[in-house]
Amino acid sequence: MELGPEAEEEEIDVIWDENGTARYRLLKDHRIVDFDGHNIAWMDEDGFIYDYTGHYKAFYENGILRDQEGAVIGQGQDPAGPKPVLPNKGLIPEASRPEKPPTKPKVKKDKDSPKKPVASLLWSKKMLEEL
């Protein structure tokens, strides 16, 4: 089922990859979904991105999605901070209605919690699903 303008109401950001392809949607409930509506990951209140098995995958801040080493996976609509050049952004495709969100696993916050990555000017070698 295709969505109209109401889809924008549930988005915080759209993330483009290094080729300028719109790849992910960051929703207001902090889920990251693809444009087919599949759940990819979720973001905690500090910007850390986890898959639905509870593994730390990436970090999102100021419109930039980074891998664990700080390389850029994708850039949002209005990215701020150190980042590689993105010559142009492709059109945002029609978005399908997101699937029901799976249950988020408990994530332990302790001395082994992920650390915010150091910002890099390089593109990540992997997309979010590959991390």
% of the chain exceeding 70 in pLDDT? 90
Please give the average per-residue pLDDT across 1-25, as a whole number: 79
Is residue 22 classed as helix, strand or coil in its secondary structure?
strand
Q: Does the predicted model carry a pTM greater than 0.85? A: yes
Identify the sign of the CA torsion 13, 39, 59, 83. Answer: negative
Query: What does the pLDDT read at residue 119?
Result: 96
CA dist., res. 1 & res. 36, Å (int): 9
